[in-house]
Amino acid sequence: MAGKDVRIERDSMGEMEVPAGALYGASTMRAVLNFPISDLRFSRTFIRALGLIKQAAAQTFVEMEVLDEKIGQAIVQAAQEVIDGKLDDHFVLDIFQTGSGTSTNTNANEVIANRASQLMGGDLGSRLVHPNDHVNLGQSSNDVIPTAIHLAALLAIKEDLVPALQNLSGELRKKSDEFWPIIKTGRTHLQDATPVRLGQEFLGFAGQAENSIKRLGRAQEALAEVALGGTAVGTGVNTHPEFSQRTCRRLSQTTGVLIRETENHFQAQSTLDALVEASGQLRTVAISLHKIANDIRFIGSGPRAGLGEISLPEVQPGSSIMPGKINPVISESVIQVVVQVMGNDATVALAGQGSYFELNTLMPVAAFNILQSISLLAASANNFAEQCVKGIQATETGPSMLEKGLMLGTALSPAIGYDAAAAIAKEASSTGQTIRQVAKLRTKLSDAELDRLLNPEDMTKPSLEVRGGGG
């Protein structure tokens, strides 16, 4: 007899003791014992996606009169509790498990079946609602798990990452407008270049965030195509031919994200190609954030011995030994997220190579990594916008150094030629004089002509009158 803290559940392999209050059953318990590998678990977003699929599947089969309506309604209600996060404690399996995610699909089937049985007045383990015959009706782990990964990623992109990037873009645009009047020395190859508006630099940052949203649109397009309906190997055995189309339509209506049945189940089910593509877009977003965060911390370096053209919000002490030191910690946080996302992308790419014949067998680790990437990018983009970008202030350093810039000599090229302008720049560099001072000595240009040619504001916009090249 089982003790009072456990109960006996059964699966196709026989009896298992499970915790008395657990909603999962024997097969999940076997997986708990088989995979004591790590503390990594599927995310809330993924569990929600599984609940949405199980709920929509039950609704579809009730609608098609394949599933008993009372059982179907109990499944729908139990699945809603999964969707709402009320049953998360019963999803207990390690990420490092069976490569198809079968253990987690079974976990979901058993949790929903037992909870639905309770809702129908039965005891745990009574199987009034059966995990396979009812909850998993017309499905297989091999099409449910990849569909859940796609759906979870789509939801996380739509609800978390896109709004975060919109927030970041908006704050960068505000700073671009604020800093537009400020003209400073541009930099290429880490060396002085022709003048640029500080607002133009921030406009470039905003454009990166906006293009990141467009790139996510392409990821969403790839993820919209799902494997649901292919069952075991892509043939659709043991399911209704209209099941996937109807269920996908229902999922789209419920979630507000586009989900559609693949036109080729054999490729959708036997590969992670769409996931690899989406992860690549996330990697590009991460690299864009690295550019923005890194430039901002360098532009704000100092405050006295660095560039110091902007001041960053002082959010915490920067040193345990140097009093008064403040570090660009928010930018550093973003950059660390970028490193993690790039590592995750490598994992997803390698997982994509785990596709053999009719099935990929590295799905759980791919799911964990891509969903973590989306979550980290969303959180860091929001934090960067709120804790750093919002509080950035311009200093006088950029404009004060502008007159000393050697690349102002570029504007002399149309009047005196490239070689003469280069000679002036070299002399200014060696003597410490400004371009204006040397040009006044070495050319016949009047003060008025020099004022016109060396106007830094004119050098921040296209002009047919300024024909000198840059490098």
Q: Which residues are catalytic?
A: 189, 319
Question: Measured between alpha carbons, how far is residue 109 from residues 86, 93, 153, 165, 219 in Å?
Answer: 16, 13, 21, 36, 29
- Residue 372, Cβ neighbours under 10 Å: how many? 17
Q: How far is CA 105 from the centre of its chain?
A: 25
Three-class secondary structure of residue 43 per DSSP: coil
Which is nearest to 82 in space by CA: 128, 116, 131, 59? Answer: 116
Residues whose CB is less than 8 angstroms from the CB of residue 34 and which lie 6 or more positions away in sequence, other chains included: 97, 103
Q: What is the DSSP letter of 232?
A: T
Contacts of 290 (CB under 8 A, 6+ apart): 334, 335, 338
39 contact partners, CB below 8 Å, separation of at least 6: none
Rounded Cα distance between 232 and 414, Å, is 71
49 Cβ neighbours under 8 A, 6+ residues apart: 148, 149, 151, 152, 155
What whole-number distance in Å separates Cα of residue 300 and Cα of residue 395?
9
